[in-house]
């Protein structure tokens, strides 16, 4: 590719903003009450989409409503019949697998099959970068779901985001400030790529409400790569307080995080062993082209997080 062609590609916006208008469609959301999929809800609502949330438990109905969804369907990803009922009458599906579930491949394939039987037109799957990594079961579990989509006959879009900026930082922010260190069970010096899931959510909404991302499989990453030492320095700058980067053994970390024994914990162990050796390496070119702007950077995310948390803390006083 010539330098001129590369510049043209980097500046290309697959989404013509003049076409970014409200649409009339209904989308079934898997994970609408979760940490990440819930970020897709406002992106769809601002585009006029009617959202039906899939929840497994009745006690999650109110939580789904509070996220802003219009309808709630009680169904179980392990019960294909309930999925067909949940998918009936919708135009699109947004699916993200439950984190580190031992049967996530089966659940994902079941959702694809249910959507196909129900006559769903569009399906967006939020998977993971490098699903072929054989050392990570939560990566390889995405492959059967992708294959089912490719053979489904539906208009599919597969998103392959790298590690989320929200992971660890968003949920452990107060603990980081209180303890004065940002510690995880892998090398603090190794650099990896990240993405703000709000950018992934925007791409998901664009894919569901338009056709320019149809039949695409897209790795999504923000610019640059960072070590935990560098991230701790950004936090220090944002809050005016020194935060050190630390390392813990996996057993120390899970004990402090109160994570019980089981498949979820073992999945995390696999992840952190991999992070300690390789981490995830991604490229921002595709995300930049889809959004038509620069993706949110790690520094921007931390500045924004520090501001939001400070406002929340102030309102509680």
The model's pLDDT over 34-48, given as tens digits with 9 standing for 90+, comes to 999 999 999 999 999
Q: What share of the chain has pLDDT > 90, as a percent?
A: 86
The whole-number average pLDDT for the span 77-91 is 98
Whether 19 has a pLDDT exceeding 70, the answer reads no
As a whole number, mean pLDDT of residues 144-169 equals 97
Which class does domain 3-164+195-223+281-294 fall in? Answer: alpha beta
CA distance 159 to 128: 7
pLDDT at 23 over 80: no
Q: How far apart are CA 211 and CA 215, in angstroms?
A: 9
Asked if residue 12 has pLDDT above 60, the reply is no
pLDDT at 3: 47
Residue 18 has pLDDT above 50, yes or no: no
Look up residue 257 and give its two tokens: 């995080």
pLDDT at 13 over 70: no
Exposure string (b/e) for 116-144, b if CB count within 10 Å is 16 or more? bebebebbbbbbbbbbebeebbbbebbeb
Residues making up the chain, counted from first to last: 317
Q: What is the mean pLDDT of the chain?
A: 92
**pLDDT at residue 247 in the model:** 97
pLDDT bracket for residue 99 (50, 70, 90): confident
Span 222-245, average pLDDT: 97
The pTM of the full predicted model, rounded to 2 decimals, is: 0.92
pLDDT at position 14 is 52
Q: 249: Cβ–Cβ under 8 A, 6 or more apart, which residues?
A: 185
Q: Which of 11-25, 141-155, 268-282 has the highest mean pLDDT?
A: 141-155
Would you say residue 17 has pLDDT above 70?
A: no
- Return the percentage of the chain with pLDDT > 70, whole number: 91
């Amino acid at each position: 590719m010539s330098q001129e062609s590369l510049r043209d590609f980097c500046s290309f916006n697959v989404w013509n903003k003049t076409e970014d208008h409200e649409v009339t469609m209904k989308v079934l959301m898997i994970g609408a009450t979760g940490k990440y999929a819930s970020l897709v809800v406002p992106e769809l609502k601002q585009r006029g989409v009617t959202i039906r949330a899939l929840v497994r438990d009745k006690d999650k109905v109110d939580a789904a409503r509070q996220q802003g969804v219009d309808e709630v369907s009680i169904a179980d990803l392990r019960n294909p019949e309930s999925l067909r009922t949940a998918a009936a009458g919708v135009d699109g599906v947004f699916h993200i697998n439950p984190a580190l579930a031992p049967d996530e491949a089966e659940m994902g394939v079941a959702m694809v099959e249910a959507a196909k039987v129900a006559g769903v037109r569009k399906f967006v799957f939020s998977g993971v970068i490098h699903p072929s990594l054989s050392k990570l079961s939560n990566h390889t579990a995405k492959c059967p779901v992708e294959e089912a989509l490719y053979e489904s006959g539906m208009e599919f879009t597969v998103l392959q985001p790298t590690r989320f900026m929200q992971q660890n930082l968003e949920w452990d922010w107060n603990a980081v400030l209180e303890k004065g260190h940002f510690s995880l069970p892998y090398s603090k010096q190794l650099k990896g790529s990240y993405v703000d899931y709000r950018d992934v959510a925007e791409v998901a909404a664009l894919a569901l409400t338009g056709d320019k991302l149809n039949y695409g499989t897209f790795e999504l990453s923000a610019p640059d790569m960072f070590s935990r030492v560098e991230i701790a320095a950004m936090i220090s700058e944002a809050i005016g307080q020194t935060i050190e980067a630390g390392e813990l053994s996996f057993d120390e970390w899970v004990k402090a995080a109160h994570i019980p024994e089981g498949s979820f914990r073992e999945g995390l162990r696999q992840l952190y062993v991999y992070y300690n050796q390789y981490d995830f390496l991604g490229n921002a070119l595709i995300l930049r082209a889809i959004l038509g702007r620069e993706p949110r950077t790690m520094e921007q995310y931390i500045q924004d997080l520090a501001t939001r948390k400070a406002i929340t803390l102030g309102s509680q006083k």
